[in-house]
Structure 1
């Protein structure tokens, strides 16, 4: 770990940084289609290839695995060459993946197109590297900037499913996939031209002679800090997956229908956008460590609120509260990385933590389903999520004890 220093851009948060943030948000929203279109297309793909529901879900599984690994790979490329090369290459692979998926003659061809081209080499370039890049352009307002950029995944989840569903119903899933690929190509590539400028190198303020140097993260080694961030990412998202993955099935079990569950999921994502913006603003004022603890604690409480209610209106209210609580957790990991690690390592380190959150979502979704199969109820699954959330809170408390909770300057490059 390098010595602590104040790493500031000479111009503070320049106007171009806000313009770049707007472009980055567009890119993450468009590129985020890869995480959502496959879910909407599942029934059509199941019918086309005449496979079981579990087999039809294989493309989603491979997509998530590819996205997780790709986040690390693309982050390393962005650290070395800047965000532009992986973004341009990822956009081309994303488009190619959708076009080939639309031409698939077997389920395996469709699944590989999603796992390798859309997940590993495509959409992964439009999320983690973009968040790491935007964190380099902001100092004073880094928290809200990272949160806004991270909203792209939620905005994609709000915008893309109804669009994909409409075109699947009107022109078929094959034409829809080809169209999505072409749309990504003709929209994201021109936007990359506006991102050609490299982030300015941080300026390290001179330290007066005789002033003792302080480690970037006193009291904790870089390896332990990174490892705990990865574990925390898994823990919070195992808990987060319970309502996000199973709310539709829960509503169907209660007799409200899948459509109501889909509306609750959309409400979660919409309030999640508000949550990310609020907690980003909060992180700029109280620091990411306290923000992590606050958001994680509220998520734990909101999970418990699902237990006593089984009415339609209460579930809508609790779903909204859950979205308002959980949106601040994941972006704070990126802020912690930027404050306690060199900027030159941000892409790879943020990509690793974000990949861990995807692993947590995958494990949590499966685990909640397995618990339901054993108990024929989601009550134990909600309690299981709460337990994992408590472990995340424990890590947040450890960070506060060892690192302190105040807002600090970012680590130097």
Structure 2
């Protein structure tokens, strides 16, 4: 059996833990459930929808500030310890919403605590052992590991709707909030450890784990800031349409039956984006893959702006937008490992995640403002299309992966060599 075959045979526990940890963590859970409970919070407490939705930007910017700190703690004390503690804090703070008493400041404070305490459930911790263990199949392993967001996005809305109908919104918070404690925490306690390679792989893996830059060193490189600048527009472009998709389709003239049938395509396309994107970046130069796939996703945004867009247009558009959202996390994790190494992986990823958080935090608010002013989302979708291409073009400047780095070469030379160099570690 080759080492490539052995990677999944030996590394599957890390993939499983990441799938559960990310899928039931800070990223997807509040994002996909807020729309289900919002009408009930509004009815119970008299809050407006805009007040309720303030929780999302509060969470996003809380994670933006906490991400680099959590990454530094993970690099210093180990990702296992940080991830396990963060799972517990996130779970308990999410359940605390079920105790809401009508105080809006307390509601927003709960979002803040959840964001800061739960930031360790983001991919910066769960993907670190994967990037250390997997070499030739790293992109595919990250794709499988980060499937949790798509799977949870596909399943959580109908589950939450059933819980609300049968047991009320407070019980819904308690049940969904308990899932990380009951599922993620026991599995991670058993299987999730800071990478400790076996004897056969120890010299190579130990060398890989020690190789690379610290956060302080990475901050001095132009590649760090190029990735950071690229992910702000990419995150904006993919995070704006998804939480507004139901209203976006309604504004485009689709009836409720069509909207219900189209909505699940988001989760399904995120899953496809995770796996196909992960496989492609294992075999081809990752920035080039991003350029191709994000450009197609930009066409999806444009298609949804056309007057009288058909059902087929909507299927294409939603699939492409979800596809782009699907490849974001594993692309960021892959780029972090390949351009900066594993020495300061968690802290560097945490700092780069700030770019994603910034774009994702601004986007839903901007989309809502465009709708309030124009009665539609055409201008916001066109902006997303442009930003997807802009972000992809910035990534093209990155050049060769760090481990193949020698004298500086042009982007054209990098693209020409990418097929030979990208899979090698």
Length-normalised TM-score, structure 1:
0.85
After TM superposition, give the deviation of residue 372 of structure 1 in Å.
3.3
1:76 and 2:72 correspond: yes
How far 1:280 sits from its partner (Å)?
A: 0.6
1:111 alignment counterpart: 108
Instruction: Name the stretch that deviates more: 221-230 or 92-101.
Output: 221-230
CA drift of 1:21 comes to 0.8
**Alpha-carbon contact 1:62-1:115 (below 8 Å) kept:** yes
Compute the displacement of 1:284 (Å): 0.8
Count of residues in correspondence between the two structures: 392
Quote the offset at 1:257 in angstroms.
4.3
Q: Give the 5 Å matches for 1:239-254.
A: 239-254=237-252
Residue 123 of structure 1: CA displacement?
5.5
> How far apart are the structure 2 equivalents of 1:60 and 1:333?
21
1:325 deviates by 4.8
**TM-score normalized by the length of structure 2:** 0.83
Query: 1:190 Cα deviation (Å)?
Result: 0.8
Q: Distance in 2 between matches of 1:10 and 1:278?
A: 18
**Which residue number corresponds to residue 402 of structure 2?**
none
Give, in angstroms, the shift of residue 49 of structure 1.
1.0
Q: What runs of 5+ residues in structure 2 fail to find an aligned partner?
A: 206-212, 400-409
**Residues 134-171 of structure 1: per-residue CA shift (max 9 Å, x gap):** 21210010011112222222222112222122112211
Confirm or deny that 1:295 pairs with 2:289. no
Contact conserved, 2:18 with 2:123, CA < 8 A, in 1? Answer: no
Distance in 2 of aligned mates of 1:22 and 1:272: 18
Give the whole-Å Cα distance in 2 for the aligned partners of 1:114 and 1:257.
33
Q: What residue number does 2:356 align with?
A: 357
Per-residue Cα deviation, 1:187-242 (whole angstroms, up to 9, x for no partner):
2221122234321477469xxxxxxxxx9xxxx98531111111111111222234
Distance 1:237 1:10, change over 3 A: closer
Give CA deviations for 1:319-374 in whole Å, capped at 9, x if unaligned. 22433355334422211110111302111112222332232122222223323333
1:353–1:257 CA distance, 2 compared to 1 (3 A): farther
**Is the partner of 2:127 in helix, strand or coil?**
helix
What value does the CA root-mean-square deviation take over the aligned residues?
A: 3.0
Q: CA deviation at 1:20?
A: 2.2
SS of 1:139's partner is coil
3-state secondary structure, aligned to 1:199: coil
Q: Is the 8 A contact 1:24 1:149 kept in 2?
A: yes
Alignment check: 8 A CA contact 1:371 1:378 kept: yes
| Contact 1:76/1:348 (<8 A) preserved | yes
Distance 2:398 2:169 in 1: 47
Question: 1:65 aligned to 2:75?
Answer: no
Secondary structure, aligned partner of 2:133:
coil
Where does residue 223 of structure 2 map in the other structure?
A: 225
Structure 1 unpaired stretches of 5+: 1-8, 206-214
Alignment match, 1:211: none
Are residues 161 and 65 of structure 1, via their aligned partners in 2, closer, same or farther at CA, if it must alter by over 3 Å? Answer: farther
Does structure 2 conserve the Cα–Cα contact (< 8 Å) formed by 1:138 and 1:145? yes
Q: Is the 8 A contact 2:71 2:350 kept in 1?
A: yes
Cα drift, residue 78 of structure 1: 1.8
Query: Shift of the alpha carbon at 1:97?
Result: 0.7
Task: Determine if the alignment matches structure 1 residue 157 to structure 2 residue 156.
Answer: no
Structure 2 residue 85 is the aligned partner of structure 1 residue 93: no
1:75–1:128 Cα contact (<8 Å) kept: yes
Aligned with 2:376: secondary structure?
Answer: coil
Could you tell me how far apart the structure 1 residues matched to 2:124 and 2:261 are? Answer: 27
Is the 8 Å Cα contact of residues 71 and 347 (structure 2) preserved in structure 1?
Answer: yes
Change (3 A) 1:284 1:75: same
1:410 positional shift: 8.2
